Homo-oligomer: A and B are copies of this chain.
C-alpha cells in the first residue's frame, strides 16, 4: 500500500465503505457544493438533495431496523461527518431532520411515536424541527420559558409562548419546510411545574399553511448555511393531544397525574438531554471533515505556488519549503489527524453506549468526551480554515476557492450543539467530580460544593500514585503522554484546591466559581489534549504526526510546564527545535498526507485544477 492508502485506512476507521459511498455521492455531477446561489434557490437545492439522500435510505442508518434503518449510530455519524466535505447547508439540514428531530422522537419518545413517525422522518415525508433554543435562552436550557400545560378536561397539552424572549429561535426547518416540531417546554401537570419536557407540535399543514395559533418567521440571511431555513416560532395556546408528549422518561396520565422513573428533576432533565448526544458528536466530526477540505486546498497550493527564492536561481521556491508556511500548516495538519483518531474513539463509544446496556458512568464519560472533543475540534476548524485561507493569499479570497463557504458555514459550529466555553465547563465538572456528581449540567454550585467534599482527596491520591519521570526521549510516545498527563492532573488538582479553598473560606459559591472559571476551562482543555493524544494508533505511519501534535501542544503550553518546574529551560528549547525538525521531515510527504483524507476532487472548488503532477 502507498503511504496515503495506509493512512486512509487508519483515518477511515471501522466503516470505510460508508465513507466511500458518501465520497461517491459527492463526486456525482450536480452534487458539488454550491455557493452564491440566491438564498431561496439554495434552500430549494438543499431540500432536493435531502430528498434524494433520504430516498436511498442513507439518512436512516441510526434508526432501528424495524423502521427502515440499520440500527447503527456509528455508521450514521460516519456517513454524516463525511458528507461535511460537501455543501454544509445540506449537512446541517440533514442534521436537523434526521439527527435532531428524528433523534428526539427516537430517544425521548416511545414505541407508538416511533411506529407513527420514524419512517416518515427518515424519508423526509414529515419535515420537522427541533425547537429547543429560545431567544432568551440558548445555553441555559433548563430555564426555557415556553410552557406546556396539561388540561385534563380535554386531555390536551396547551403549548404557549409567554413573551418574545420565549419564542423559539434559529430553528432549522422552521422558516419554510417543517411541518412538525419537537418542542421543549416547561411541563405543567397536576398543577405543578415538572421541568423541561419535549412534545410534538404540528406547525404547518400539508399545504405549508401555519397551524392555528402558530406564528412563524424567517430568521433571514445568516453569516453562512443559507441553504438551511432557520426560523422563529411562537405558540399561542396551541393544543395537542396527550399522546404527543415524548414520554420515555415521564408520563402524564389522563387525569394529569405525573410519573417519571427518575425522581430527581435535574437528573431527569440531564438524562433526557443526554440521549441527544449524537448531535454534538456529529458536529465534531463535521468540523474535522471541513478542516480536511481546507488543508487539502492549502497544501496542494503550497506545492504548486512559488514565490521568492535564491537569487540567481531559475526558479522561485515553493511556498511549502518555507518554514513559516510549514509552521502555519503542518501542526494544524497533525492536529487534524489527532482529532480524527479521537473522533473515531468517540464514534466507537457512542455506538457502544447506544447499542448495549450502558452504565450511567459510560454515558457520563461519553458526554464528557463529546463535549471536550466537540469544543476543541470546532475551534480548530475555525482557526485552521482561516490559516489555510491566508496561506492561499488573494486566490483564497475568491469564492471559487471554497474558503468563503468553509469559513462562513463552519463558524457557527463553535456555538451550536452547545457553546464551546460552556461545554468545556461541563467537561471539567465531570472530571472534577469523577463522574459521580448527581447534579446536572453546569449547575454552578453542584461543582463547587461537591469538590469541597470528596473529589479533592481522590485527585490527590491519583496524582500521588504517578511517578514523575523527567528526561526521556521527546519523540517517544510515553514521554509525550507523561507530559500531557502531568499537565492535566496538575491543572485538575489546582482547580479543585482553588474551589475548595473558596468554599472553606465561606465565600459565595457563585463568585468562587467565577473566580476559578478560567482555571476550570483550562483543565478541560488539557484533558481533551490528553485524550486526543491517547487516540493515536500505534502505527509507524503516524508517528511523526503524533510527535508533531504532541510537541507543538507542549510548545504552546511551555509557559505552564516551566512555571511549575515540569520541564527545564533547555528542554523547552529542545521542544521548539523538535517541532521545526518534524515539520521539515514531514515536508516530503505533504501531498500524501492530505491525499489520505480522501477529499473528493469535486468539493475542492478551483483547487482541483492544481495538477496531480505536483512533486510530493
A: residues with CB less than 8 A from B are 35-36, 38, 133, 137-140, 143, 169-170, 219-224, 307-311, 316-317, 321-324, 327-328, 382, 386, 389-390, 393-394, 396-400, 403-404, 407-408, 411-412, 414-416, 419-421, 425, 442-445, 508-510, 514-515, 517-518, 521, 555, 557-559, 562-565, 569, 572-573, 580
Question: A323-B518, A562-B562 are known contacts. Are A412 and B397 too (CB-CB below 8 A)?
Answer: yes
Contact A137–B307 (Cβ < 8 Å): yes
Residue in B36, B222, B324 whose CB lies within 8 Å of A399 = B222
Q: How far is the CA of A255 from the CA of B224 in the complex (A)?
A: 59
CB-defined contacts of A407 to chain B, threshold 8 Å: 223, 407-408, 411
Residue from the set A397, A416, A555 with the largest chain B CB neighbour count within 10 Å: A397
Residue in B220, B420, B555 whose CB lies within 8 Å of A400 = B220
Q: Which single residue of chain B is at the shortest CB-CB distance from A401?
A: B223
Residue in B324, B408, B425, B572 whose CB lies within 8 Å of A421 = B324
Q: How far is the CA of A443 from the CA of B311 in the complex (A)?
A: 8
Q: How far is the CA of A296 from the CA of B135 in the complex (A)?
A: 21
* Cβ-closest 9 pairs across A and B: A562-B562, A223-B404, A559-B559, A558-B559, A221-B399, A310-B510, A323-B517, A170-B394, A563-B569
Contact A394–B415 (Cβ < 8 Å): yes
Question: A394-B133, A394-B170, A415-B394 are known contacts. Are A399 and B518 too (CB-CB below 8 A)?
Answer: no
Contact A444–B310 (Cβ < 8 Å): yes
Contact B222–A397 (Cβ < 8 Å): yes
CB-defined contacts of A38 to chain B, threshold 8 Å: 38
CB-defined contacts of A572 to chain B, threshold 8 Å: 559, 562-563
Q: Which single residue of chain B is at the shortest CB-CB distance from A142?
A: B308
Q: Name the distance in Å between A492's Cβ and chain B's nearest Cβ.
A: 17
Contact A307–B223 (Cβ < 8 Å): no
Q: How far is the CA of A133 from the CA of B451 in the complex (A)?
A: 60
Besides A133-B394, A558-B562, 13 more A-B contacts (Cβ < 8 Å) are A143-B308, A220-B400, A222-B399, A223-B396, A223-B397, A223-B398, A223-B407, A224-B397, A310-B510, A311-B443, A386-B386, A558-B559, A562-B563
Q: Which single residue of chain B is at the shortest CB-CB distance from A36?
A: B221
Contact B408–A408 (Cβ < 8 Å): yes
Residue from the set A322, A393, A412, A565 with the largest chain B CB neighbour count within 10 Å: A393
A-B contact pairs, 16 of them (CB 8 A): A139-B307, A139-B308, A139-B393, A221-B404, A222-B397, A223-B399, A308-B442, A310-B509, A317-B510, A322-B514, A323-B517, A324-B521, A397-B412, A407-B408, A563-B572, A563-B573
Contact A140–B398 (Cβ < 8 Å): no
Q: How far is the CA of A222 from the CA of B558 in the complex (A)?
A: 39
Question: A223-B398, A394-B133 are known contacts. Are A518 and B558 too (CB-CB below 8 A)?
Answer: no
Residue in B389, B416, B565, B573 whose CB lies within 8 Å of A223 = B389
CB-defined contacts of A316 to chain B, threshold 8 Å: 140, 143
Contact A415–B397 (Cβ < 8 Å): yes
Q: Which single residue of chain B is at the shortest CB-CB distance from A404?
A: B223
CB-defined contacts of A308 to chain B, threshold 8 Å: 139-140, 143, 442, 444
Question: A222-B397, A407-B411, A510-B309 are known contacts. Are A558 and B569 too (CB-CB below 8 A)?
Answer: no
Q: How far is the CA of A322 from the CA of B139 in the complex (A)?
A: 14
Question: A133-B394, A140-B307 are known contacts. Are A222 and B565 too (CB-CB below 8 A)?
Answer: no
Residue in B133, B143, B390, B404 whose CB lies within 8 Å of A415 = B390
Contact A514–B569 (Cβ < 8 Å): no
Residue from the set A307, A327, A515 with the largest chain B CB neighbour count within 10 Å: A307
Contact A404–B559 (Cβ < 8 Å): no
CB-defined contacts of A416 to chain B, threshold 8 Å: 394
Q: How far is the CA of A443 from the CA of B390 in the complex (A)?
A: 22
Q: How far is the CA of A324 from the CA of B517 in the complex (A)?
A: 6
CB-defined contacts of A442 to chain B, threshold 8 Å: 308
Q: Name the distance in Å between A381's Cβ and chain B's nearest Cβ.
A: 12
CB-defined contacts of A419 to chain B, threshold 8 Å: 390, 393
Q: Name the distance in Å between A310's Cβ and chain B's nearest Cβ.
A: 4
